Chains A and B, each alone.
Chain A
Amino acid sequence: KKLQSSIRNYFTAK
């Protein structure tokens, strides 16, 4: 089973 990751895990807050 694959889980949906969050876009926040890849991009950092500016």
Chain B
Amino acid sequence: MFEARLGQATILKKILDAIKDLLNEGTFDCSDSGIQLQAMDNSHVSLVSLTLRSDGFDKFRCDRNLSMGMNLGSMAKILKCANNEDNVTIKAQDNADTVTIMFESANQEKVSDYGMKLMNLDQEHLGIPETDYSCVVRMPAMEFARICRDLAQFSESVVICCTKEGVKFSASGDVGTANIKLAQTGNVDKEEEAVIIEMQEPVTLTFACRYLNAFTKATPLSTQVQLSMCADVPLVVEYRINELGHIRYYLAPKIED
């Protein structure tokens, strides 16, 4: 028996919004430690890794490890039927071929349940090596989304250059050139507005705007985003989900021909 309950459907809606543009389907691996999903996008350029800890749920029960392959478009349709404040419960029997998603209004007067067929997805799991990143940047998630959106107008690619002075995002194309520099913030009253750079050595990497913009669909989940970079390895874009877990996107860099 698997049962996981969250106080607010809005969190699950936001999580789905954050992954459904990159992935058509995904396997939710459930164990007593929580729920994990790892999948590459169709082009195998990026990897999505979602972790939801069992202690972040209002109720969590997982008697046996369970892998639930789900069509994320179908799941999005079901979640559209929930009000943001509804309780949401995901339930499945052991070895079941369906999952039940139940919504309850705060006053318990409306209860709806939706059944969805599970899929047997033959998704490969990739081992992500421990990496000592040369630069780790923490910045407001909205600012990062704005920069990615703005620079996508100029080029398919954005160059991210991180030094101890700050982080620079650049793009150039037919229209011209664009450079956005962010300096590390000095004294900040609000932690969520801070730009913090931890640099071991400077790094310059090039990434596809299209994927960065897809990652920023996670912006409603978190006030801050963390970018981890190292020469010649994938960028990690991490959004923490308050008291529940995180979503990490890995993006392969663009390399010299």
On A, residues with C-beta under 8 Å from B are: 1-14
Contact = CB atoms under 8 A, between A and B. Distances in A.
Interface in B192-251: 206, 208, 233-234, 250-251
A8 B256 contact: no
Contacts of A5: 45, 252-255
Contacts of A4: 45, 208, 252, 254
A7 B46 CA distance: 6
Interface in B112-145: 124-129
Given A8-B44, A13-B124, A14-B127, 13 more contacts: A2-B157, A3-B254, A3-B257, A6-B45, A7-B45, A7-B126, A7-B250, A7-B251, A9-B252, A10-B233, A11-B127, A11-B250, A12-B126
A3 B254 CA distance: 5
Nearest to B44: A6
26 contacts: A1-B257, A2-B254, A2-B257, A3-B255, A3-B256, A3-B257, A5-B254, A7-B45, A7-B126, A7-B234, A7-B250, A7-B251, A7-B252, A8-B40, A8-B44, A10-B233, A10-B234, A10-B250, A11-B47, A11-B126, A11-B127, A12-B127, A13-B124, A13-B126, A13-B127, A14-B125
Nearest to B124: A13
Q: Lowest 6 CB-CB distances: which A-B pairs, in order?
A: A11-B126, A2-B254, A14-B125, A5-B252, A7-B252, A14-B127
Contacts of B44: 6-8
Contacts of B157: 2
Contacts of A7: 40, 44-47, 126, 234, 250-252
Contacts of A9: 252
Interface in B1-54: 40, 44-47
Nearest to A8: B44
B255 A2 contact: yes
A14 B251 CA distance: 19
A3 to B, nearest CB: 5
Interface in B79-138: 124-129
A6 B41 CA distance: 11
A4 B127 CA distance: 21
